[in-house]
A and B are shown apart, each in its own frame.
Chain A
Amino acid sequence: GAGVSQSPSNKVTEKGKDVELRCDPISGHTALYWYRQSLGQGLEFLIYFQGNSAPDKSGLPSDRFSAERTGGSVSTLTIQRTQQEDSAVYLCASSDARTGSGETQYFGPGTRLLVL
């Protein structure tokens, strides 16, 4: 694909339900990042993958949040037992750490999550 894609674009769920958010990075990008952005706020780092491994999970806000990446490509962010404070836009970005400008991140369109 030409860019980073995310699905679903919007998700409305009830408090206590589990949700899965998907990210499809740019083909060949080895690094993948998840961020959360609440209304009017900056980007909150959640987790980073290099290949299939996650060397930095420091941003996950609680043990209700988990993420995985398979085949060095698609990643899924799972939020269990959602709470209203989880409502935010979840952004995924990828970068190609192998190139000289490898730190440049390309963002997907985001998933807007609303927990009722």
Chain B
Amino acid sequence: QKEVEQNSGPLSVPEGAIASLNCTYSDRGSQSFFWYRQYSGKSPELIMSIYSNGDKEDGRFTAQLNKASQYVSLLIRDSQPSDSATYLCAVILSGGSYIPTFGRGTSLIVHP
């Protein structure tokens, strides 16, 4: 069983819509969660980190964490074509190491 699961997509949304990206994880003791964006041919860059249950907002991005249900989501409001990329979910599993486990990523396409 993969420890961090994401739907590979592609998820296609029209410009201006809300894009919702989901990630589930298997380790109930996980404490740290991250969303990275990776443009084609580029390296991942951090969008947001979240550590507590609930919502965390940063501009057009909102991360949502529900530890009881073991999922973390990323919402992108007013999606733009420049948001088209692969979004990687990463989770620091319990056990004391700083090594995040990455999901395979969800490809997002925002069409004009």
B102 to A42, Cβ gap below 8 A?
Answer: yes
A109 to B43, Cβ gap below 8 A?
Answer: yes
Least distance between B42 CB and chain A CB atoms (Å): 8
Which secondary structure characterizes the binding site on chain B? strand
Select which of B34, B43, B97, B104 is within 8 A of A42 by beta carbon: B104
A43 to B97, Cβ gap below 8 A?
Answer: no
Q: A42-B88, A42-B103, A43-B88 are in contact. Are A95 and B45 (CB under 8 A)?
A: no
**Which of A14-22, A65-73, A100-108 lies at the binding interface?**
A100-108
Among residues of A, the one whose C-beta sits closest to the C-beta of B45 is A107
B98 to A31, Cβ gap below 8 A?
Answer: yes
Q: A45-B99, A48-B97, A56-B97 are in contact. Are A101 and B49 (CB under 8 A)?
A: yes
Least distance between A65 CB and chain B CB atoms (Å): 17
Among residues of B, the one whose C-beta sits closest to the C-beta of A41 is B104
A55 interface residue per 8 A CB criterion: yes
B11 interface residue per 8 A CB criterion: no
Interface flags for B76-94 (1: CB within 8 Å of A; 0: not) read 0000000000001010100
Which of B42, B92, B98: most chain A Cβ within 10 A?
B98
Among residues of B, the one whose C-beta sits closest to the C-beta of A107 is B43
Interface residues on A, range: 20 to 34
Contacting residues, chain A, for B100 (C-beta < 8 A):
103, 105
Interface residues of B, count at CB 8 A: 20
Least distance between A25 CB and chain B CB atoms (Å): 14
Contacting residues, chain B, for A77 (C-beta < 8 A):
none
Closest 9 CB pairs of A and B: A42-B104, A107-B43, A43-B102, A103-B98, A103-B32, A107-B44, A48-B99, A110-B43, A103-B92
Q: List 29 A–B pairs whose Cβ atoms lie within 8 Å, in order of A's numbering.
A: A35-B102, A41-B104, A42-B88, A42-B102, A42-B104, A43-B88, A43-B102, A45-B99, A45-B102, A48-B98, A50-B98, A91-B43, A101-B49, A102-B98, A103-B32, A103-B34, A103-B49, A103-B92, A103-B98, A103-B100, A104-B46, A105-B34, A105-B100, A106-B46, A107-B43, A107-B44, A107-B45, A108-B43, A109-B42
